Amino acid sequence: MGDYWTICAADLVTALGDDPAATWNAIMSGACGLRPLKSLAQGDGRTYVAAEIPWLRGSGAPAPGLPADCSPAYALTRRVGRRALAQAGPLLASRTGLVLATTKAGIDDLERQLVAPGPAARSHFLPARLARDLATDLGLGGPVLATSNACASGLVAIAQAARLLTSGSCETMLVIGVDILSRFVLAGFSSLAALSARPCRPFDKLRDGLSLGESAAAIVLRRGPWPTALATIRGWAVTNDATHITAPSRTGLALTQALQKSLSAARLAPQDIGYINAHGTGTVYNDETESLAIYSVFADSPPVSSLKGYIGHTLGAAGVAEAILCTEVLRHGVLPASLGFENLGVSKPIRLLTGHQPAPGVNHVVTIKCGFGGINAAMILSRANHE
């Protein structure tokens, strides 16, 4: 067995639940978090569908102990970070670091700052400041980094944390992924005509765009074994299409290489993989490219699903959030259906799940995330204590 990293603890807030178990149970019940969005008016007359955390913009302070003007992104990340660290048990805080993954968390603070300039102390539109304030708040003395690798941010952050652990720079890493719904992001994706008017339908013949979601997700990562391990990370790879800054490569070559390299890093063969958690945004080109890459590596495709139909596309949080849901797959031995999928709408015959499928023997899963800038990431998670 090669080197590996253990997920010791995890916490997750999505539109479907306030912790990993709640989100997983909601997925198992077939719940969909995507609804017409009411709280973020765009003024363009369109109705957006999105997966909104129900309580996040409610009345009152965002969380106990936080100032009333604290950004939702800060409140969410603090919440999941604290709970994940508490779940992990006693850790040496001075040897624990943080990697934060996000695309635009806290961006609404920028608009406020530009309209009414003032002390920027609690403004978190700069991810590095959000990470630094979080680490201080959580009492972490290890290295602190923020990454922004578009929708691959979460997996890139986990990989970066694993690198720091491998080099002995710290003993424990907290990885947090966060992105929240904002007027900025909604306006941007709307201007790109990338949003579907209805809940997204990844890989389906009738897919016509993505549905945004919001989430904060945290994992505690260590190198080597851990008594209460949720899952292990065996390998990963990140590649770049080098073709376009927003559109995926039409050939899927770089994503194919990411999948192959992640298998090689994990010392596994394609047939060892029991489930693929696809990026599956529901856009025409992403899903087609992903199907090309999956098919070229896994000619006999393992079961595939996208979780975007349940919790929306949570952007920079997606890598961490969906990695946590992959640990649930491994722990429960059930593969989730690809909500919104009915008829195959991609050119390669990959095996999309139309219903939940028991898979008690699944030991290894792959999660895929791709983002603007041509970035592709693939990571392999394995059942805890699986040799």
Partner 1 sequence: MNDLCFLTAWSRLDDTGFANPQSRTAWPGERSPDGPLRWSWFSAAPFERFGRLDLLSQYAVAAAELALQVQPLSPAEAAGAALCLGTAHGSLAADCEFLAGANSAAGPSPTVFSYTLPSAAIGEISIRHQLTGPSLCLLCPPGDELSPLQEAVRLLIQREARAVLCVVADAVPDLYRRAALGAAATDRVAGYACAFLLEAAPPAERSVLANVSVVKSSAAGAGEMSSLEQFTIGCSHGGATLCPGEPYRRAKCVLGESIQTLSALEMLCRTLADGEAAARLELPGLRGTGETLAICREANQR
- Could you list the active site residues? 151, 279, 313
Work out whether 120 is an interface residue with partner 1 (CB under 8 A).
yes
Q: At closest approach, how far in Å is the CB of 193 from partner 1?
A: 8
Per CB under 8 A, which of residues 174..233 are in contact with partner 1? Answer: 183-184, 187-193
Q: At closest approach, how far in Å is the CB of 58 from partner 1?
A: 26
Q: At closest approach, how far in Å is the CB of 138 from partner 1?
A: 13
How far CA 349 is from CA of 116, 228, 288, 362, in Å, comes to 54, 38, 11, 21
Work out whether 107 is an interface residue with partner 1 (CB under 8 A).
yes
Q: Which residues are CB-neighbours of 336 under 8 A, at least 6 positions away? A: 27, 28, 305, 307, 310, 325, 329, 353, 356
Specify the residue, 238 or 292, whose C-beta has the smaller distance to partner 1: 238
Work out whether 90 is an interface residue with partner 1 (CB under 8 A).
no
Specify the residue, 189 or 295, whose C-beta has the smaller distance to partner 1: 189
Work out whether 297 is an interface residue with partner 1 (CB under 8 A).
no
Specify the residue, 144 or 359, whose C-beta has the smaller distance to partner 1: 144
- Determine the interface stretch with partner 1 among 78-86, 160-168, 277-285, 342-350 (rule: CB under 8 A): 160-168
Q: At closest approach, how far in Å is the CB of 289 from partner 1?
A: 15
Per CB under 8 A, which of residues 29..58 are in contact with partner 1? Answer: 44
Q: Which residues are CB-neighbours of 18 under 8 A, at least 6 positions away? A: none
Three-state secondary-structure class, residue 23:
helix
In the chain, beta strands by DSSP E = 5-13, 34-36, 49-51, 96-101, 144-147, 172-179, 212-213, 215-223, 231-240, 275-277, 303-305, 334-335, 351-352, 357-358, 364-371, 375-383
Specify the residue, 7 or 145, whose C-beta has the smaller distance to partner 1: 145
Q: Which residues are CB-neighbours of 266 under 8 A, at least 6 positions away? A: 2, 234, 235, 364, 380, 382
Work out whether 2 is an interface residue with partner 1 (CB under 8 A).
no
Work out whether 97 is an interface residue with partner 1 (CB under 8 A).
yes
Q: Which of 28, 57, 93, 113 binds partner 1 (CB under 8 A)?
A: 113
Q: Which of 13, 145, 17, 24 is nearest to 82 (CA)?
A: 13
Per CB under 8 A, which of residues 237..276 are in contact with partner 1? Answer: 237-246, 254, 257
Q: What is the CA radius of gyration of the chain?
A: 19
- Determine the interface stretch with partner 1 among 30-38, 140-148, 221-229, 305-313 (rule: CB under 8 A): 140-148
- x/- site string to partner 1, residues 361 to 380, per CB under 8 A? ----------xxxxx-----
Work out whether 81 is an interface residue with partner 1 (CB under 8 A).
no
| Alpha-carbon 214 to chain mean position | 10
Q: Which of 6, 14, 77, 148 binds partner 1 (CB under 8 A)?
A: 148
Strands 215-223 and 5-13: antiparallel
The full DSSP string for 316-332 is GGHHHHHHHHHHHHHHH
Q: Which residues are CB-neighbours of 61 under 8 A, at least 6 positions away? A: 67, 68, 70
Work out whether 166 is an interface residue with partner 1 (CB under 8 A).
yes
Q: At closest approach, how far in Å is the CB of 248 from partner 1?
A: 11
Q: At closest approach, how far in Å is the CB of 71 from partner 1?
A: 15
Give the C-alpha separation, 231 to 234, whole Å: 10
| Alpha-carbon 106 to chain mean position | 17
Give the C-alpha separation, 304 to 354, whole Å: 10
Per CB under 8 A, which of residues 275..294 are in contact with partner 1? Answer: none
Q: Which residues are CB-neighbours of 379 under 8 A, at least 6 positions away? A: 155, 158, 159, 233, 235, 236, 262, 319, 323, 366, 367
Q: At closest approach, how far in Å is the CB of 375 from partner 1?
A: 5
- Determine the interface stretch with partner 1 among 55-63, 97-105, 214-222, 278-286 (rule: CB under 8 A): 97-105
Kindly state the tokens that stand for 226: 């851990």
The residues of the shown chain that bind partner 1, judged by CB under 8 A, are: 44, 97, 103-104, 107, 110-111, 113-114, 117, 120, 123, 125-129, 131-132, 140-150, 156, 160, 163-164, 166-170, 183-184, 187-193, 237-246, 254, 257, 371-375
